[in-house]
Amino acid sequence: MADAATRDAALKMADNAKLAFEHGASKSAALSFCSALGAAFRACNLALDQSQEQNQPSGTVAFDEATRVAQNKLDSSVEGAVQVAIGALIEYADNDADAMRSLGGDVASRTDRADVRLRALSSLYNAAPNGRGEHGRLRYEMLLLVIAFGERAGLSSALHPVFAKVEEYGTQWELSPADRRGLLDAVASALVAGGDLAAAHEYKLKALHEVDPAANRSIEAEAERAAAVVTQSIMLDNVFRFDELPDLESVRALEHTHALLWELLNILISGGLKEYLAFHNANSAYVADTLKLSHEALVRKMRLLTFASLGIAKQELSYEEVASALEVEVDEVEAWVIRAISSGLLDARVDELGSRVVINRSTTRVFTKQEWQPLHQRIELWKRNLDALSSMLAAKRAAISAYDQ
């Protein structure tokens, strides 16, 4: 925290800038005012007032004075000061980008009264010209500042509506792949800080797709990024689809840079519990120490994925078939049916009298010819059943018509 002398100097500078601006509104006066206001934001603790700091100037004095420049008393003198600065920049300084960046950095330099500072930053972001080129670049930089501050101040949850639009913004502002990736990374980082790992993972996965073919990229660096995303995919309890990951060049590179992770990924894509257990027996230290993954959680995930594969192959499964494939006791099968349904992998019912599981729908893990064949057979069966039902209804209609005549 700045000492009293620094605070006094900052507030004095803001006051002098205010007077200069009042007596001669111009670009230089507007820029001086914004600079002085930024210094006050950087030096002053907004959470303190005169009753808390004996014999020291209030941290809101400069902001009160700045508000009076516009002769418009707002609810918050701090936010009012920022509105005055924005108005000065727009009217007298052609929305000077450097001044806006500088003031934004000053506002974000501390986290006292984080809610007020975040609203001030949001006002600066909204005041930045919207468009392409330099305008888009400024908007992008201000949004990064807002997101980073929200993360640091523990206010990321307030920015979720903004997070949902960052891909749209990337297109609207014509950002480069590197900048779009930077925006997605910032959102992912903020979500991780807020404890929402599943949502963060989605943005990290999107960031993997943002690759500039013309850029000189390090294969190793891209592979490390891809390895982190793949590992998190495996770790998250609600992720069961892995077949699209190898579509990414950086993920395919894992075959050469992270061979064991590549092998584990392919087991999750199309292998079963037996393949995973064999892998773990040979690489238990790698799973636990390098990837930091829980063997028990992976066994649970592989049992669910194996169950899904069983449901694709057959519409009816005996308890013994399920128990054998999942390597559990027969009396545990019903519990695993419930888990598979809850995870969204299966739509099924239990026939307790017949000791069987009837599959209505099962999630296909990867679409190859082998996986398409049972689906094709099932569709053909449905088609024949519908044709038979249609013929039966037509015959009944004909019989009724003949009877009426």
Q: Quickly list DSSP for 200-250.
A: HHHHHHHHHH---TTS---HHHHHHHHHHHHHHHHH-TT----TTGGGSHH
Hey, which of 42-46, 61-65, 240-244, 375-379 has the most confident mean pLDDT?
A: 240-244
Pairing of strands 346-351, 356-362: antiparallel
Sequence-separated (6 or more) residues with CB below 8 Å from residue 224: 257
Total domain count, the chain:
1
Mean pLDDT rounded to a whole number for the chain: 83
Which has the minimum average pLDDT: 118-122, 264-268, 382-386, 400-404? 400-404
Q: Which of 234, 299, 253 is nearest to 273 (CA)?
A: 299
CA distance 49 to 57: 8
For tokens 């069961």, what's the residue? 240
Establish if 322 belongs to a structural domain.
yes
Could you read off the pLDDT of 343-374 as tens digits, one per residue?
A: 999 999 999 999 999 999 998 887 655 555 66
Q: What is the pLDDT of residue 2?
A: 45
Establish if 312 belongs to a structural domain.
yes
Which has the minimum average pLDDT: 173-182, 338-347, 358-367? 358-367
Establish if 397 belongs to a structural domain.
yes
pLDDT band at 211 (very low <50, low <70, confident <90, very high): confident
Residue 182 or 86, more confident: 182
Establish if 345 belongs to a structural domain.
yes
8 Å CB contact between 92 and 106: no
Establish if 316 belongs to a structural domain.
yes
Establish if 395 belongs to a structural domain.
yes
**CATH code, domain with 352:** 1.10.10.10
Say if residue 27's pLDDT is above 90.
Answer: no
Establish if 178 belongs to a structural domain.
no
Establish if 351 belongs to a structural domain.
yes
8 Å CB contact between 252 and 245: no
Q: Which two tokens stand for residue 207?
A: 């960031």
What percent of the chain lies above the pLDDT cut of 70?
A: 80
Q: What are phi and psi of 365, to 5 degrees?
A: -80, -35
Which residue segment(s) compose the domain that 397 sits in?
305-404
Q: What is the pLDDT of residue 159?
A: 94
pTM above 0.85, yes or no: no
